[in-house]
Amino acid sequence: MPYTEDDLLPLSALQHLLFCERQCALIHIEQVWVENLFTAQGRILHERVDNTGHESRRDLRLEFGVPLRSLELGIIGKADMVEFHRQPDGGWLPFPVEYKRGKPKKGNWDRVQLCAQALCLEEMLTVDIFHGALFYGKIRRRLDVVFDRNLREETTSTASRLHNLVAGGITPPAVYGKKCDACSLLEICLPKVATGKKTVAAYLRSMQNP
Ligand code: SF4
């Protein structure tokens, strides 16, 4: 395995990285976090589904708040819910389900996050997992996700980029875009004025000592 327990990074950082490298660095290198309306709604939704526990029916078991880890990807996290479907041979096939506050996004980060959960479960349980699902609160629909080769490769390369970014310890400069309007770090990042600053700390220092 390429990583050890000491190297593990949060699984949620994958979606931060795909949303914006700078946001990912601010959170996971500079340890900055600010809650806004979007993150608060997401947190409350996750708290509702995040309780650990389980339910069982004849051919279906539901496990909530399932701890996840992959030494192959170097990530650690938790699945909102994993369904276990009984197979004809009597075994149980995991099917991860992730709850999202909004609606499906143009970017691939929700699918990558779900695929990372599947890769963790594959490694932990020594099984092959082919599908999972994303449930979007805004449209109240559950969309199936296929863990095909492309998505697996994107997930693996995103995890590797995440480790490189954190190991490098350098926050990329801001690039203002439409996504910034929904970013919880907009007021700290200041993308319209902070472009080119290496870190938020450097920006704050420059404000104190103009
Ligand atoms: S405000 Fe924009 S550039 Fe800054 S972290 Fe957020 S998304 Fe990235």
Within a 10 A sphere around the Cβ of 138, how many other Cβ atoms? Answer: 11
C-alpha–C-alpha distance, residues 62 and 60, integer Å = 7
CA angle 61, 67, 71 (to 5 degrees): 125
Residue 62, classed as helix, strand or coil, is: strand
Ligand 1 contact via 20 beta carbon (within 6 Å): yes
Q: What is the number of the ligand 1 atom nearest to the C-alpha of 184?
A: 6
Ligand 1 centroid – CA 167 distance (Å):
20
**Distance from C-alpha of 171 to C-alpha of 143, rounded to nearest angstrom:** 34
pLDDT at 187: 87
What confidence score (pLDDT) does residue 50 get? 55
The encoded tokens of residue 19 equal 């949303």
pLDDT at 149: 98
112 token code pair: 């990558």
The token pair at 173 is 């400069």
The residue whose CA is least distant from atom 2 of ligand 1 is 180
pTM for the full predicted model: 0.84
183 C-alpha to center of ligand 1: Å?
6
Q: Give me the half-sphere count of Cα atoms (radius 13 Å) on the Cβ side of residue 10.
A: 11
| CB 9, CB 1: distance < 8 Å | no
Consecutive 10-residue averages of pLDDT for the chain (210 residues) = 93 95 93 65 59 76 95 96 94 95 89 98 97 94 97 98 96 92 88 63 57
Look at residue 106 in the predicted model and tell me its pLDDT: 83
Q: How far apart are CA 132 and CA 119, in angstroms?
A: 11
25 lines ligand 1 (CB under 6 A): no
Q: Where are the alpha helices (DSSP H) in the chain?
A: 13-19, 21-28, 37-49, 109-125, 149-168, 186-189, 200-208
CA–centroid distance, 187 to ligand 1, in Å, is 9
131-154: per-residue pLDDT in tens? Answer: 999 999 889 999 999 999 999 999
The Cα–Cα gap between 169 and 174 comes to 16
